[in-house]
A and B are shown apart, each in its own frame.
Chain A
């Protein structure tokens, strides 16, 4: 078993908490994991990405090779496209549908969606709206994780455990809200 994931977004959107939950779950599952993240300059509203690799065997490289990613999880639609050269032929994109527009030349949204449409395997959902429905827009990244959950090769219950451990310190209410967010994303992706 090997899953190579690229997490993408804009600095400040919180892709690293998605990585943290998957990491906890993977450790619990006895899997090997490597996760390369970006700190520093680009966190100031620039494009950010993280390479997350899971395997039942030791992993050598911290970085994913071109054409090898099983999954691109993105909190921003244009950002999901930036890493396409890394996607496997039968790889999948799971992305938020709403743009984060902090540049003057953001492309026409229709064109972005058209590019996404060309890909054979994708899940495009508005995680922010879903997150608001379950309690808080701040859980958007966990809705996103839920939407990607069917494709990560980690038991769903382990991801729930990961959420309990990561958010445990913040109290039961926050944990439950995030568990709901995870479930909402999961159900949507299953239905998609």
Chain B
């Protein structure tokens, strides 16, 4: 019994190590990144040889995790919410095959979009795949759920989806750890071919098995103790919380609840507990950190019968994360604030670092594109370089999902748009730009792709980038003509060179790849610091 101060992410990582983890597979993404980073720097993990190297994207990560589970070992797979879109093909189908060694998939959702393009609630995926889900309300619960979760996964024969949100991932609290367990021995599943070959005839059986398993999943939800009912005298209202919403409710009742409360942290929904609270209370208030998923289920499509208040009827805001004040207001409390923000306070948006190579790329690009009378469009992507959208650059026209820069530019070029430019980072390129490049090569699309290579995954804190040192070879291998793969060092003194390369390649009627390459200034400064020590 040791107490540590852990981020939610760190609690998850330590729990996995303690529970006999053999490998974590992940692609970085806020707010999930620190789980894998913790395992990468853990001395115990190093001693045991736990796999922790970054995967190229979330899909390759989940498939590798599944392979390790197939071989009988316990495995963790972590991603930010949008990462599950990338891994969804594997995710939906692992629900058919089931697993062998315990497998926990962590989805770190980002309501309020602190660092994301959307705020999708991945509990929808859990329901979609019909898999059991956990949603811890505090760091200790996160630890315990992961520690026990591998065993649960093995007992049920399915992976567990564990959902956290930003405030759980990135908040620190005291966590008591438990004894280290042995790793599983290598053992492959006896009924492997019946389960893991999803040919239609076998898949049909597997789907029936998944449907049958639902009752067991629900029973576990009802009896595990994670879903808790707190009775209280005032039955005019019953309150249901999911995940960390429970904390904001508790904050508003420092002396104990006056209404019955059902705290949900495990799914499928615990039917009996829901019947109990809806039977006892006239009206239900539901507090969910995310989409109104349980709310919709309880209300039913037509909303007849039960009176349910929550995000759908305006009791709570429809979007964004919850906080003690939003919950307080929903409970009819008066929220007092004494000092407004003075008018002189200005916004301070994030910006590209001083000395960052992306800056030089955009400056040169902007100058060249100004020669095209506004017809040029720059399809960009996700990473630090997305900050090129802001002043003084205002250099990009899109940022949708990882890899979309190349493929959107392709579609626009197909439509006749010229110049069609794509700006993508090195890590994003290997994550999901390479396949789009092949599409372009196959059709000799008239497109100019700039891979702004800072030799790291900078936006998420400087993780290794899968293709470092091999980008030219990768592009050539995909079929880009070597004379149209151009590299340049993005520095002021090379502006003229950069501009003429950009001009030439825009005019070339085919696929060109320009690779401005200079190490991320943060990574560079970090290395210098370490060298000084």
Q: Which residues of A contact B (CB under 8 A)?
A: 10-11, 19, 23-24, 27, 32-47, 59-67, 78-79, 81-82, 84-89, 102-108, 111-112, 115, 119, 170
Query: CA separation between A33 and B175, bound complex, in Å?
Result: 11
B235 contacts chain A at the CB level, 8 A cutoff:
no
Evaluate contact between A67 and B335: CB separation under 8 angstroms: yes
Q: Please judge, given known A-B contacts A62-B247, A66-B337, A115-B342, whether A39 and B325 are in contact too, CB under 8 Å.
A: no
A/B interface sample: 13 pairs, CB < 8 A: A33-B173, A36-B172, A37-B7, A40-B30, A62-B247, A63-B248, A65-B328, A79-B348, A84-B340, A107-B344, A107-B346, A115-B344, A119-B339
Evaluate contact between A43 and B250: CB separation under 8 angstroms: no
| Residues of B within 8 A of A (CB-CB), count | 51
Q: Please judge, given known A-B contacts A41-B30, A62-B247, whether A32 and B174 are in contact too, CB under 8 Å.
A: yes
Evaluate contact between A78 and B338: CB separation under 8 angstroms: no
Q: Which residue of B lies closest to A27 (CB)?
A: B5
Contact partner of B115 among A41, A84, A89, CB < 8 A? Answer: A41
Query: CA separation between A47 and B346, bound complex, in Å?
Result: 10
Evaluate contact between A45 and B339: CB separation under 8 angstroms: no
Query: CA separation between A62 and B244, bound complex, in Å?
Result: 9
Evaluate contact between A39 and B172: CB separation under 8 angstroms: no
Contact partner of A38 among B114, B174, B342, CB < 8 A? Answer: B114
B388 to chain A, nearest CB (A): 12
B251 contacts chain A at the CB level, 8 A cutoff:
yes
Residues of B within 8 A of A89 (CB): 338
Residues of B within 8 A of A38 (CB): 114, 170
Residues of B within 8 A of A60 (CB): 246-248, 250-251
Contact partner of A41 among B244, B344, B353, B459, CB < 8 A? Answer: B459
Q: Which residue of B lies closest to A47 (CB)?
A: B348
Q: 18 new A-B pairs (CB below 8 Å) besides A33-B173, A65-B328, A112-B344?
A: A34-B172, A35-B171, A35-B172, A40-B31, A41-B459, A44-B350, A45-B350, A46-B349, A60-B247, A61-B324, A65-B324, A65-B325, A67-B335, A78-B346, A81-B341, A108-B344, A119-B339, A170-B533
Residues of A within 8 A of B350 (CB): 11, 41-46
Q: Which residue of B lies closest to A111 (CB)?
A: B344
Query: CA separation between A24 and B4, bound complex, in Å?
Result: 10
Evaluate contact between A61 and B250: CB separation under 8 angstroms: yes
Q: Please judge, given known A-B contacts A41-B30, A60-B248, A60-B250, whether A102 and B348 are in contact too, CB under 8 Å.
A: yes
Residues of B within 8 A of A87 (CB): 338-339
Evaluate contact between A103 and B346: CB separation under 8 angstroms: yes
Query: CA separation between A78 and B353, bound complex, in Å?
Result: 20
Residues of A within 8 A of B346 (CB): 78, 103, 105-107
Residues of B within 8 A of A47 (CB): 348
Q: How many A-B residue pairs have CB under 8 A?
A: 149
Evaluate contact between A34 and B173: CB separation under 8 angstroms: yes
Evaluate contact between A39 and B336: CB separation under 8 angstroms: no
B352 contacts chain A at the CB level, 8 A cutoff:
yes
- Residue among B7, B248, B339, B387 with max Cβ neighbours from chain A (10 Å): B339
B460 contacts chain A at the CB level, 8 A cutoff:
yes
Query: CA separation between A85 and B328, bound complex, in Å?
Result: 16
For chain B residues 301-350, which have a beta carbon within 8 Å of chain A? 323-325, 328, 335-342, 344-350
Evaluate contact between B341 and A37: CB separation under 8 angstroms: no
Q: Please judge, given known A-B contacts A34-B171, A62-B244, whether A85 and B342 are in contact too, CB under 8 Å.
A: no
Q: Which residue of B lies closest to A82 (CB)?
A: B345
Evaluate contact between B340 and A85: CB separation under 8 angstroms: yes
Query: CA separation between A87 and B340, bound complex, in Å?
Result: 10
A27 to chain B, nearest CB (A): 6
Q: Which residue of A lies closest to B248 (CB)?
A: A61
Query: CA separation between A38 and B323, bound complex, in Å?
Result: 15
